[in-house]
Amino acid sequence: MLEDDYSVFKDINKLSDRLASDILDAAKTAIKLSDSFKIVLTGGNSILKTYEILSNSESDWSKWHIYLSDERCLPLEDKDRNDYMINSVWLNHSPILKHNINFIPAELGVNGVAHYENILNGVDNFDVTLLSMGEDGHVASLFPGHSYDDSKSVVNESNSPKYPKDRISMSYSRLNHSKNIFKVISGSSKQRSLDLWLKGDGLPINQISGINNKIYLCKDALYKVKSTINNIFGL
């Protein structure tokens, strides 16, 4: 259900412009209040343009601390890893301090869970967590119908319905420790899951909620669910 602040955008470019602007505003506020900005990044094509915009933006980058919602258990530099995409479009040419970038050592397989858990033990609430919904309604590497140990900050997924099967993800409980959660939904392949979400289905995206929540919807994800959303969006 859409009980949070939401916006609908004509295309991914408009969505990415707003999302990048909101991230930069949140960074400015956090740095002013606590002299640091802690953000959880995510993978997926829906967020790619936002990272490109951030790579050409101004901020007090020395105060940024980067974390990652999930990673695929693949060798370092594998092009299917989330950190490979993020580095390629943004961080490889960013002034963000290297020791402030905390990616998941998923190349270690299941052993990477304990490593990332140790990193997160010293972190309180994140300032911003980015989440991009998958075709089946999953976020990070938390999939519908799968169970996870929510007493942990980091969990292992060993039977992902998408390649590769082995992944490492922040848990629901850890992702919920966020001041701002920005959820992104774009693409026609997300239409069915968005319809289920609007009808109150218990998808993973419905199980994550921060202190403040914003939802960024691209119109291409709304086409088939117009009957559901007419009264919500006035489309």
**182-208: per-residue pLDDT in tens?**
999 999 889 888 888 777 778 999 899
Distance CA 216, CA 66 (A): 21
* pLDDT-based confidence at residue 5 (cuts at 50, 70, 90): confident
Q: What residues have CB less than 8 Å from 109, skipping those under 6 apart?
A: 73, 166
Is the full-model pTM beyond 0.85? yes
* pLDDT-based confidence at residue 114 (cuts at 50, 70, 90): very high
* pLDDT-based confidence at residue 2 (cuts at 50, 70, 90): low
Class of 5-233 per CATH?
alpha beta
Distance CA 84, CA 112 (A): 17
**Angle 124-100-206 from CA coordinates, rounded to 5°:** 45
Distance CA 23, CA 48 (A): 14
pLDDT in tens, 56-111: 999 999 999 999 999 999 999 999 999 999 999 999 999 999 999 999 999 999 99
Handedness of CA 167, 168, 174, 175 (dihedral sign): negative
* pLDDT (average), residues 152-162: 97
